[in-house]
Amino acid sequence: MHWQRVGLSKSSFSNINGSGLWPWLCAACVSLSLLMLASLITLLAVRGLGHFWPASLEEVTLNSGEVVIGQPVREMALPKGAGTERLYFTGNQEVTGSNWHWIAIDDISQQTKPADLIRLTRTPWGDFIGRLTAMESGDQRLTDQAAWAFIQDALALPVNQRPPGTLVLATADGQTLRQPLANVSHFQSPNAMSWGEKTIAWGQRIWQFLSEGPRAANTGGGVWPAIFGTVLMVILMSVIVTPFGVLAAIYLNEIAHQNRLTRLVRIGVRNLAGVPSIVYGVFGLGVFVYGIGGSIDSWFFSDELPSPTFGTGGLLWASLTLALLTLPVVIVATEEGLARIPDAQREGAVALGATRFEMLTRVVLPMATPAMLTGVILAIARAAGEVAPLMLVGVAKLAPQMPVDGDFPYLHLERKFMHLGYHLFDTAFHGEDVQAAIPLVFATALLLVLIVLVLNLTAIFLRHYLRRQRGNEC
């Protein structure tokens, strides 16, 4: 029995199990783990999803007479008890040179929320916050409600179908800006919106985040290419690593002689699971990209050289690298599942006339399927969040072409791709405006966690389904 394996008698195990301390300690640890997980997801959800809510805009008049229009972001205490200052997102980078403005609370003489304040997203200068003076289209000059209706109808159309026009805008200090309508992607007046209108706008912005590509150096736009690349890479990795991991585990546990060499191989496999992921990236770069990929280019794509086709990072090499990285996880989980199958099951199948191959395929492997899927689940969880090796073997900050399109052969394994983990890293540390990127970092992190959960839950449900099917057959 298991208590005898660790040197305990049955009576001593019963005393430990019957003590009131250990069950409560275990329950407390589980509760703490769940609380930490819930806190993490709540933080990501509040900070990430809150970014898409149409926040109210304030018009602040300072004691000096200066007027500032922006969205309040957070407050911070000044050193030595000198008061508190508030950070405003003011936009209008081409006018002020910065999107942010710190204001001491004691310097504010008046703050209001006028209904006519607007916020629009545009290229190339990012957000504008101020007032709409007029809308010019051809010989027409529209103001007030007519201008608003024209803009809303125009933004509902694709960019190439919009009527030509120019927005005449006014900043907080009275300057006039002229903004082409074709370069505007989003237009709002949050102070004049009802709660229901804000909810609809919030949902639309989340959908745009999920369905559009990035812009403004990854500090704006959406993450659809990164979502697609992450899921596709994980699927390819799983397809590659599963058969190799399962076959290796079958050989070690069912076929190979259990001697010193086999034990050394097992130790090596377990040690490989602890190798830093960047080492696998270096291996993939040297062997897969430069070695195999360079050879493929010289054999089949010599006319394209010196521009490499497979001799550079791509989806195939990234999937192979992560398959190699997660291979020990699948081998260990599968072999442990095989070891738990009683020898009586194998001996009974052979006694009934089954060959060794039939015994493995019809008795042992179906019973070990849940363990195999457990290994795949662990592999998915690790591979989906890895960033370091991908930086060497194929991930890109911005991939101009998707790995899948309508051109033969439809799946282009040689192309670079975007990944949520690398997108998260790049947005957080390499953006031009780190402060503006923080909400997108939380939103992207939440999305990555949810994708990993969905992939894992899919494999878990499949495992339980196979268990039920095997139980029904029995």
> CATH number of the domain that 352 lies in?
1.10.3720.10
- If one counts the domains in the chain, the total is 2
Inside any domain, residue 145: yes
User: Which domain-ending residue is among 151, 176, 210?
Assistant: 210
313 and 458, same structural domain? yes
Higher pLDDT, 443 or 471: 443
Q: What is the pLDDT of residues 129-171, one digit of tens each?
A: 999 999 998 888 988 888 888 998 888 888 888 888 899 999 9
Same domain flag for 109 and 191 = yes
Rg (C-alpha) for the chain, rounded Å, is 30
Same domain, 105 and 146: yes
Q: Note whether 238 and 268 are same-domain residues.
A: yes
Inside any domain, residue 336: yes
Half-sphere exposure for 201 (CA within 13 Å, toward CB): 20
Question: Which token pair is 117?
Answer: 């304040």
Return the number of other C-beta atoms located less than 10 Å from residue 397's C-beta. Answer: 15
Chosen domain end from 210, 242, 271: 210
The predicted structure's pLDDT at residue 117: 94
194, 333: one domain:
no
Tokens for 275, please give them: 């190798």
Residue 267 belongs to some domain of the structure: yes
- Give the burial class of 245: count Cβ atoms within 10 A of its Cβ; 0-12 exposed, 13-18 middle, 19 or more buried: buried
pTM score: 0.82
- Give domain status of residue 11, yes or no: no
Own/partner pairs for 248-257, CB < 8 Å, 24+ apart?
A: 248/327, 248/331, 249/330, 249/331, 249/332, 249/334, 249/335, 249/338, 250/334, 250/338, 250/360, 250/365, 252/331, 252/335, 253/335, 253/338, 253/339, 254/338, 254/360, 254/364
Dist. CA 385–CA 395, nearest whole Å: 13
309 and 191 together in one domain: no
- Enter the DSSP assignment of 78: P
Residues 148 and 92 in one domain: yes
Rounded to the nearest 5 percent, the helix, strand and coil shares of the chain are 60, 15, 25
Backbone angles phi, psi at 371, to 5 degrees: -65, -40
The pLDDT score that the predictor gives to residue 216 is 66
User: 15 in a domain, yes or no?
Assistant: no
pLDDT value at 433 more than 80: no
In a domain, 30, yes or no: no
H/E element, 211: helix 195-211
**Model confidence over 13-24: pLDDT tens digits?**
445 455 568 888
Tell whether 287 and 387 lie within a shared domain.
Answer: yes
Say yes or no to pLDDT of 94 above 60.
yes
201 plus 254 within the same structural domain: no
Residue 392 domain-assigned (yes or no): yes
195 and 309 housed in the same domain: no
Domain containing 139 equals 52-210
Q: Please identify, among 169, 184, 210, the residue that sits at the C-terminal boundary of a domain.
A: 210
Do 167 and 229 belong to one domain?
A: no
22, part of any domain:
no
Q: How are beta strands 84-89 and 220-221 bridged, if at all? A: unpaired
- 165 plus 141 within the same structural domain: yes
